[in-house]
């Protein structure tokens, strides 16, 4: 099995939306959770290869550009908390993607739920 397949599987198995962009802001991947989350905007079919900037208002566009510029300043600048959604009780982050030399090659949007997981520990009876 190739490493790419393993990494893709990690992203695809995540229950929270993940949107991956290249360093030019083009959406290059949405996991299934993101496809569902953004279905009112056409989901994967409409958003893939579109600029993430086109999906946001002017103020948000400026923030995205500011964060990406910050990512470029240092290979140590890698994660920014960008939003808290009280209706869904989740945080949203922008996270840098880097090559082996530490150069920025893209970034992704990651959602993290603040809801307590009430699934019983080691419950193997259902797909969690």
Listed residue (34, 60, 57, 64) closest to 47, CA to CA: 34
Structure tokens at 6: 């393993």
**56 vs 40: CA distance, rounded Å:** 14
Domains and CATH numbers, the chain: 3-113 (3.30.450.20)
pLDDT digits (tens, 9 = 90+) for 51-74: 999 999 999 999 999 999 999 999
Q: Is the pTM of this model over 0.85?
A: yes
Task: Flag whether pLDDT at 102 surpasses 80.
Answer: yes
pLDDT band of 123, cuts 50, 70, 90:
confident
Listed residue (28, 27, 32, 25) closest to 9, CA to CA: 32
pLDDT digits (tens, 9 = 90+) for 16-44: 999 999 999 999 999 999 999 999 999 99
Q: What is the pLDDT of residue 127?
A: 62
């Amino acid at each position: 099995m190739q490493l790419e397949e393993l990494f893709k599987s990690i992203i695809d198995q995540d229950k929270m939306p993940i949107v991956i962009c290249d360093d030019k802001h083009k959406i290059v991947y949405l996991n299934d959770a993101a496809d569902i989350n953004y279905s009112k905007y056409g989901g994967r079919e409409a958003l893939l290869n579109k600029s993430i900037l086109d999906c946001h208002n002017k103020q948000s566009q400026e923030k995205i550009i500011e964060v990406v510029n910050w990512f470029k300043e240092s290979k140590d600048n890698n994660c920014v908390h960008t939003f808290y959604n009280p209706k869904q009780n989740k945080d949203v982050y922008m996270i840098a993607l880097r090559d082996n030399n530490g150069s920025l090659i893209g970034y992704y949007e990651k959602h993290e739920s603040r809801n307590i997981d009430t699934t019983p520990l080691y419950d193997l009876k259902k797909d969690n």
